[in-house]
Chains A and B, each alone.
Chain A
Amino acid sequence: MAKESFESGLSWEVRANSRHFHNQKKSLLCFGWGRYADNVLRSYKYSPLTFLPLTLFEQFQRAANLYFLLMVVMQCVPVIASVPWYISMIPLLLVLTVRGSKDLINDMARRRSDSQINTRPCDILISQSFQSAQWKDLCVGDVLRIHRDQVIPADLLLLYSSEPHSLCYVETADIDGETNLKYRQAAGATHSELTAHPVEETLAAFDGVVLCEEPNNRLYTFRGELHWRGECHLLESEHILLRGTVLRNTEVAYGLTIYTGTDTKILKNSGKLRVKTTQTEKVFNFVVIGIVVTLLLAALLLAIGSGVFSSRVTGHSNVLVANGNPVYTGFLAYWSYIILLSPAMPIALYISFELIHTVHSYFIGWDIEMYWQQADRPAQARNTSLNEELGQVEYLLSDKTGTLTQNRLLFRQCFVAGQIYGDASVRAEDVEPMDLSWNPYSCGGLYMSAPSLVEKLRFEQCPLSRQFLTALSLCHTVMTEWKEVPPVYQSASPDEETLVGAARELGWVFLSRTRDFVKVSELGVTRQYQLLALLDFTSKRRCMSVLVREPEGGLKLYCKGADIVILERLQKDSPYQEWTERALELFSQACLRTLCVAVRSVPEALWMQWSKTLARSAAMATCDRDAVLEKLYDEMEQEMQLLGVTAIEDRLQEGVPETIALLRQAGLKVWVLTGDKKETAVNIAYSCKLLDPDTRLLEWQELRQILQAPDPGANFFKSRQMELWAVDTNTAGAKTAVVLTGPELAEFDQRPEWGSTFMSVAEQCQSVLCCRVTPGQKADIVTLVRKHTSSVTMAIGDGANDVNMIKTAHVGVGLAGVEGGQAVQSADFALSQFRFLQRLLLIHGRWSYKRISIFLRYFLFKTCSFALVHIWFGFFNGFSAQTLYEIWFIAMYTVLYTASPIMCLAFFEQDVTAEISLKWPEVYKSGQRQELSSPLVICLTLLHAVYSSFVLFFIPLGVFHNTAFDYQTMSVTVSMAATFTATIEIMLVTRYWTKISVASLGVSVVLYFIVSRITQSRFLFERSPKDYFFIGTSDKAFIDPVVWLTALLTAWTAVLPSFTAHALSVIQTAHDKHKVHSVSLQPTQLKTNFRRATSLRRSSYALSQGAGPGRLISSGTCIRSTAPPVDEKMTCSNNLPLSQGQTHTKDYNSTSM
């Protein structure tokens, strides 16, 4: 038995109730390995034992740290030590400690959140009784009891549930973003055999063996066999409860654990934790390596020079201490020069870099406008090293459910008999609630104020509107659950739930459903309709109908569906047609989801004939039948009379359309990746202004042609122009959006060459919508974008299904919302609301990018210009690695004399204020283009630094050449000039002068003079002559006019190029800047309001993918026994002709619901 299964790939064996079988673990010390993972979540990296080695290993993977370590080691060798060792040892230790403790703190946080999940309670069957245990105790093969609203701790095989037919309902929002309930059903065998009471005993005796696939990340498929009592039952994904889903509306479900912990499908989907580094850091690291290599090369050349010089002077070695062996002298000079030039790449840079990142992260957390009062939650930068990347994002990949939308559908408006009820321009919260006290079933939730409609309904003034509500209460696949009055509605489609709920509020209460009857209370009068046929929804038909026999005996077909479908099936002379068009137009402008509702009185004769055909078709083979059925349905759904139009608002998160509009202006491309249905996704994309009303959708068929074409770009343009030239040739470029679904996306796996073509097409499109994608596919899309563009990607989401993409993107943002989201744990930034993204990107991101790139460039400039002086000095001191500065100046220059102004700049600089950044989002684009951190800009900075170092040496050389000035005076002059140069340069780049910046600038320059006087004082000299031998130099130099004049001239000449460049840019951009500052005063909101010149109606009806749940209804499997008590007296007469209605849908090929 096992052998066969093995051959078919089912190699994962699970034996129920036999822990010892699965616990055969090998382990050594604390490391264990076994076939079956335990159910403990371990997202932490360190243990007390491994922390030190691991963190050191990680930190010394950074080339910079290794380099600094090497410097420290070298400075400990006396022969070559041109500067003392402690000058770089202390900073290095500081860096390692700070970084290490930061990692440790992060890891502790992960441990805490892990243990929170690991200690969640669950009931495990242990020796005939269920005992309360924790998630981490769970093993493969355990039998579990899950209660209503509990989160499922591992992937389970559903054995049995308290509901009829062992059905149970799960919410999969965390897995695929869909909020509607899904059905899961136990295998027939286990259901029937395990129903006997008491459950514990039968379950404890259950000894089935499950053979299934090895753990994998395919969420929607499962292959397996259950071998039990000598029989083999096939298992499918329908029988599986996935970890992370929530049991709903089901009292108790029992399951057999199949995959635990890291083997579960959701964790297999969650991707690996990656260490993220920013683009700027990458460019910067490259530059660092470049500088280091250059320095090594320069040191080598200087060392050769040293050897040559030494060989030339050996003749009079009594004067100069030359060792006699030029090669050895050169060798020593090489290392000395490396040490001497190493301040060009100071470790202080890395310390400051970390510090700035941390402060920027604090600023994000401190921003009161990103604080959400409702949940008392500020924004949070969980990863403190990605700030500047926020200013460079070009692709925003967003989840839909919970991120863009609130998961709430509201019935906002309707159109009945030539009249529009409700007002969508009022915010849902502000709608005045109607007086519905006459309705005992009313329980709120209707955000539509239409007293006139209620009046018409109650006083029977308008038969059409009554029929409209009858249709709403009859034509659906909703199920009721009677716990108390009013009933709770459950549906596979949230739209339907909303419609039925709205009808309930208005007095048409759907009470219960059996296989053949639907019971409705119409304004308190209970009426029972016989359900003759259910013409189910498919995404192709885009409508559904019910055929009912009224209590009075008449036959009625109630139909609802997309406007295009319904309008063409109406009677020719139906009234209000023009009004209907207008109403649809209005609704779609308000971004409401519309459905048309229609009715048809079906003659008895037609029904008899039609039902016969239907019965015949039921006997046909599946493939033919679908076509026949479709035709049949089409015949019935004709000659209808329009009852009205419903308009549902899919509640967006607050401020989503504004935010997306703003981000699009800022040059971001917003893509939506969702596990939800295509219809919903497209609708949301329109309503949140991601797509303009006239945006054309480029679907798979067309896209495929483009991708397969030999010259895809040309093809794309051609097709676009053919279709769109008539509308608006100018904007054709941006007015296209690609819509893809998961299975279509899977084709990319086989055709890797499509990736780049797809990206080149997508780059020209307004947006890309990916629907029905798994978490893994979401990550794949991010990878696709990362691979084929050099742009920065940002992923935003709230659920566990977004974790993978959040980890994969350059920057991951988790939305915490009201309940807090799973995604936050692995996100780099946590926000409470989508709209905070505008501040995060346009203000904090832009500023961070600006500040950090200026910081890096300035730092490189000041350190290189200061250190490279030694190269030039080498030519005039026999390449002897003589320092041109007092060693204390070398130690203090970067950390004291020039540090605080640049830190102030890196903390406070604002080229434009927060308000202007938001009103003028175009300024964000400079970050996307890497204008401030491109290799070219950095090269220019380095060039300037080299020039400055040249000036810093050669002007003093000219002055001091052939004079009586000594080495120490020249040294003080050059150091003074270097300090002045750095100070003038920072004054040039600072645009935002706070009191702190002015003070820090003054203080750091004054510090130079004070500290120089101190280190060159008699007091320190007398304590350690060897360390403070510059005694008296500054006393003399600081009052010498030549020293001052030289230092000033040198500093001015050194900054002259950047001064000129700044001045030229001021002259050139003065005009633009003026524009920014003046135009920004006007509200830019105007733009969005005048956009709706042309609008295309959209109407959709979103259900689960593929067919609707009609099969379950008509087969009666999910009809609850919890109907209202009056139901007991239900008449069961005349149920003759109905069987056709159910049979035809029985074998409907319903893909994963």
Chain B
Amino acid sequence: MVKEEEESPNRPDNTAFTQQRLPAWQPMLSAGIVIPGFVVIGLVFIGIGVALFVTSRSITVLEIDYTGVDKDSPCFKCSDPDIKNCPCTVDFTIDTLFEGPLFLYYGLSNYFQNYRKYSASKDLTQLSGDLANFKAPSDDCYPYDYSAQKPIVPCGSIANSMFNDTFKLFHMVKGTKNPVALDGKGIAWWTDYNVKFRNPSVNPLKDAFNGTTKPPFWPKPAYELDPTDPANNGFINQDFLVWMRAAALPNFRKLYRRISEGEYEKGLPAGNYSLEIAYNYPVLKFEGRKKVVFSNVSWMGGKNEFLGIAYLVIGSLCVVMSIVMLIVYAKFKFPEED
């Protein structure tokens, strides 16, 4: 044998790979596997769908549109973009206990935060605290990179257009306004807060901003975003971080506050409430809407009926499909009977 191989150097190797005889599993599918398979998958989907649907039903959501389009709405007077910091109050009633912990969102619609030029209009190096980019913001920020020859910090249109309405919630108990504590801590992503966005290590923070200017749309510079908490200023301001995480679609919500401590930790009891809004953000000129959303959450996050229904639909479709297959199978198996 060895001798033979020596005599024929061109002889191909007789291995499973070269001879294409690799051991393999060749599943022989049959109707007996396929049809029950479809039924099982369909049932699993229906099961998931039911679970999701039930979960979603257990979540309560309260949406309040405060754009002020209608003349009789409380914020109508504020819808004129020329009026700054216009206060308006929206009253609402809760019939039963709104179980907590509650989340307070603001929602915008017809707002294209995912517009490519818009979402790219920021300087990540600047936002991670690099002082070099304070002096010379990236071109991506155009046209919000310089204002009157001074670099804008934070630059770019996404930062410039930061949402700046503020909300205060009061529980009306026997004619007195009982403030509901809104917790603004930890509403941003951990990575955003700790890695992606960093303030320059300059103390005080204000000095880092020397020679720069605030975005034109902002009333106050970045280092004065939260006058109540000095640590919540600059690029790591929670509201700023939430805003900078661009939304996926033109209709979106962003987390504003949590009601997770104090006397309303367990939820909002039935009663009258008053939401005081400092109305700043103009949305009407692009036919946008603003709203405030109260919601509690479950294991699957916020309310999402679509997912449960979609699972139910696809699951039922699979079951229907398996019935169709059964009919086809019967026709093929017993053709003479037809």
A residues sitting closer than 8 Å to B (CB atoms) are: 82, 313, 315-316, 318-322, 336, 363, 365-368, 371, 373, 376-378, 847, 876-878, 880-883, 908, 910, 914, 955, 957-971, 991-997, 1018, 1021-1022, 1025-1026, 1029, 1031-1032, 1035-1036, 1040-1042, 1045-1046, 1049, 1052-1053, 1056, 1060, 1063-1064, 1066-1068, 1070-1071, 1073, 1077
Across chains A and B, the number of contacting residue pairs, with CB separation under 8 Å, is 240
Q: Is the CB of A371 within 8 A of B10?
A: yes
Q: Please, which residues of chain A bring their CB within 8 A of the CB of B35? A: 1063, 1067
Q: Within the assembled complex, what's the spacing in Å between the Cα atoms of A1073 and B306? A: 42
- Interface residue B38 (Cβ < 8 Å from any Cβ of A): yes
A-B contact pairs, 23 of them (CB 8 A): A313-B112, A316-B285, A321-B115, A365-B12, A366-B18, A378-B10, A876-B249, A880-B116, A959-B310, A962-B109, A966-B248, A971-B248, A993-B25, A995-B23, A1025-B196, A1029-B124, A1032-B191, A1036-B191, A1041-B299, A1045-B48, A1053-B310, A1064-B328, A1067-B325
A962-B252, A963-B253, A1021-B195 known; A876-B116 Cβ under 8 A:
no
Contacts A966-B248, A1025-B125 supplied; 10 other A-B pairs, CB < 8 Å? A318-B160, A367-B19, A958-B307, A964-B255, A967-B113, A967-B114, A997-B24, A1025-B128, A1025-B196, A1049-B314
Q: Please, which residues of chain B bring their CB within 8 A of the CB of A377? A: 10
- Interface residue B52 (Cβ < 8 Å from any Cβ of A): yes
- Interface residue B227 (Cβ < 8 Å from any Cβ of A): no
Q: Is the CB of A366 within 8 A of B19?
A: yes
A523 CB to nearest chain B CB (Å) = 44
Q: Within the assembled complex, what's the spacing in Å between the Cα atoms of A793 and B11? A: 30
Which of B26-34, B84-92, B178-186, B205-213 interfaces with chain A?
B26-34
Q: Please, which residues of chain B bring their CB within 8 A of the CB of A970? A: 248-249
Q: Within the assembled complex, what's the spacing in Å between the Cα atoms of A1061 and B9? A: 49
Q: Within the assembled complex, what's the spacing in Å between the Cα atoms of A991 and B112? A: 46
B280 CB to nearest chain A CB (Å) = 13
Q: Within the assembled complex, what's the spacing in Å between the Cα atoms of A316 and B20? A: 65
Q: Within the assembled complex, what's the spacing in Å between the Cα atoms of A319 and B325? A: 54
Q: Is the CB of A313 within 8 A of B20?
A: no
| CB-contacts of B260-288 with A (<8 A) | 282, 285-286
Most buried by B among A316, A320, A363: A320
Q: Is the CB of B299 within 8 A of A1067?
A: no
Determine the residue in chain B with the shortest Cβ distance to A908: B22
Q: Within the assembled complex, what's the spacing in Å between the Cα atoms of A881 and B117? A: 9
Q: Please, which residues of chain B bring their CB within 8 A of the CB of A1041? A: 299-300
Q: Is the CB of B125 within 8 A of A914?
A: no
A908-B20, A908-B22, A994-B22 known; A320-B117 Cβ under 8 A:
yes
Q: Is the CB of A376 within 8 A of B9?
A: yes
Q: Is the CB of B306 within 8 A of A958?
A: yes
The contact string, 1 if C-beta is below 8 Å from chain A, for chain B 285-327, is 1100000000000011110101100110010011001000100
Q: Please, which residues of chain A bring their CB within 8 A of the CB of B318? A: 1056
CB < 8 Å neighbour of A1026 from B14, B124, B160, B325: B124
Q: Please, which residues of chain A bring their CB within 8 A of the CB of B251? A: 961-962
A367-B19, A967-B246, A1031-B195 known; A1067-B190 Cβ under 8 A:
no
Q: Is the CB of B332 within 8 A of A1068?
A: yes
Q: Within the assembled complex, what's the spacing in Å between the Cα atoms of A1034 and B310? A: 24
Q: Please, which residues of chain B bring their CB within 8 A of the CB of A1035? A: 191
- Interface residue B119 (Cβ < 8 Å from any Cβ of A): yes
B295 CB to nearest chain A CB (Å) = 9
Q: Within the assembled complex, what's the spacing in Å between the Cα atoms of A1073 and B311? A: 35
Q: Is the CB of A996 within 8 A of B22?
A: yes
CB < 8 Å neighbour of A376 from B7, B18, B107: B7
CB < 8 Å neighbour of B34 from A964, A996, A1029, A1066: A1066
- Interface residue B217 (Cβ < 8 Å from any Cβ of A): yes
Q: Within the assembled complex, what's the spacing in Å between the Cα atoms of A877 and B252? A: 13
Q: Is the CB of A313 within 8 A of B310?
A: no
Q: Within the assembled complex, what's the spacing in Å between the Cα atoms of A1070 and B285? A: 63
Q: Within the assembled complex, what's the spacing in Å between the Cα atoms of A883 and B13? A: 49
Q: Is the CB of A991 within 8 A of B27?
A: yes
CB < 8 Å neighbour of B246 from A365, A914, A966: A966
Q: Within the assembled complex, what's the spacing in Å between the Cα atoms of A961 and B108? A: 12
Q: Please, which residues of chain A bring their CB within 8 A of the CB of B192? A: 1032
Q: Please, which residues of chain A bring their CB within 8 A of the CB of B237? A: none
A784 CB to nearest chain B CB (Å) = 36
Q: Within the assembled complex, what's the spacing in Å between the Cα atoms of A5 and B253? A: 98
Q: Within the assembled complex, what's the spacing in Å between the Cα atoms of A1063 and B326? A: 11
Q: Is the CB of A957 within 8 A of B157?
A: no
Q: Please, which residues of chain B bring their CB within 8 A of the CB of A320? A: 112, 115, 117-118, 157
B274 CB to nearest chain A CB (Å) = 24
Q: Within the assembled complex, what's the spacing in Å between the Cα atoms of A956 and B278? A: 34
B102 CB to nearest chain A CB (Å) = 14
Q: Please, which residues of chain A bring their CB within 8 A of the CB of B113? A: 967
- Interface residue B254 (Cβ < 8 Å from any Cβ of A): yes
A564 CB to nearest chain B CB (Å) = 49
B residues sitting closer than 8 Å to A (CB atoms) are: 7-14, 18-20, 22-31, 34-35, 37-38, 41, 45, 48, 52, 105, 107, 109, 112-119, 121, 124-125, 128, 138, 142-143, 157, 160-161, 189-192, 195-196, 216-217, 245-255, 282, 285-286, 299-302, 304, 306-307, 310-311, 314, 317-318, 321, 325, 328-329, 332
Q: Is the CB of B12 within 8 A of A1067?
A: no
Q: Please, which residues of chain B bring their CB within 8 A of the CB of A1049? A: 45, 307, 310-311, 314
A967-B247, A1035-B191, A1064-B325 known; A882-B115 Cβ under 8 A:
yes
A-B pairs, top 3 by smallest CB distance, nearest first, are A1032-B191, A366-B18, A970-B248
A143 CB to nearest chain B CB (Å) = 42
B144 CB to nearest chain A CB (Å) = 8
Q: Is the CB of A964 within 8 A of B24?
A: no
Determine the residue in chain B with the shortest Cβ distance to A1045: B307
Q: Is the CB of A1063 within 8 A of B325?
A: yes
Q: Is the CB of B253 within 8 A of A368?
A: no
Determine the residue in chain B with the shortest Cβ distance to A962: B251
A366-B18, A1067-B332 known; A378-B26 Cβ under 8 A:
no
Q: Is the CB of A1056 within 8 A of B317?
A: yes
Q: Is the CB of B329 within 8 A of A1067?
A: yes
Q: Within the assembled complex, what's the spacing in Å between the Cα atoms of A318 and B282? A: 11
Q: Is the CB of B20 within 8 A of A1067?
A: no
Q: Within the assembled complex, what's the spacing in Å between the Cα atoms of A363 and B18? A: 6
Q: Within the assembled complex, what's the spacing in Å between the Cα atoms of A1073 and B27? A: 12
Q: Is the CB of A321 within 8 A of B332?
A: no
Q: Is the CB of A318 within 8 A of B191?
A: no
CB < 8 Å neighbour of B306 from A363, A961, A992, A1026: A961
A277 CB to nearest chain B CB (Å) = 26
Determine the residue in chain B with the shortest Cβ distance to A1077: B28
CB < 8 Å neighbour of B248 from A367, A965, A1042: A965
Determine the residue in chain A with the shortest Cβ distance to B189: A1032
A958-B310, A1067-B328 known; A376-B10 Cβ under 8 A:
yes
Q: Is the CB of B253 within 8 A of A878?
A: no
Q: Is the CB of A1042 within 8 A of B300?
A: yes
Q: Is the CB of A964 within 8 A of B325?
A: no
B53 CB to nearest chain A CB (Å) = 12
CB < 8 Å neighbour of B14 from A368, A1042, A1067: A368
B10 CB to nearest chain A CB (Å) = 5
Q: Is the CB of B249 within 8 A of A961?
A: yes
B192 CB to nearest chain A CB (Å) = 7
Q: Within the assembled complex, what's the spacing in Å between the Cα atoms of A1035 and B191? A: 9
Q: Is the CB of B9 within 8 A of A1032?
A: no
Q: Please, which residues of chain A bring their CB within 8 A of the CB of B19? A: 366-368
Q: Please, which residues of chain A bring their CB within 8 A of the CB of B302? A: 963-964
Q: Please, which residues of chain A bring their CB within 8 A of the CB of B246? A: 966-968
Q: Please, which residues of chain B bring their CB within 8 A of the CB of A378? A: 10-12
Q: Within the assembled complex, what's the spacing in Å between the Cα atoms of A908 and B17? A: 9
Determine the residue in chain B with the shortest Cβ distance to A1036: B189
Determine the residue in chain A with the shortest Cβ distance to B10: A376
Determine the residue in chain A with the shortest Cβ distance to B144: A321
B303 CB to nearest chain A CB (Å) = 9
Q: Is the CB of B286 within 8 A of A319?
A: yes
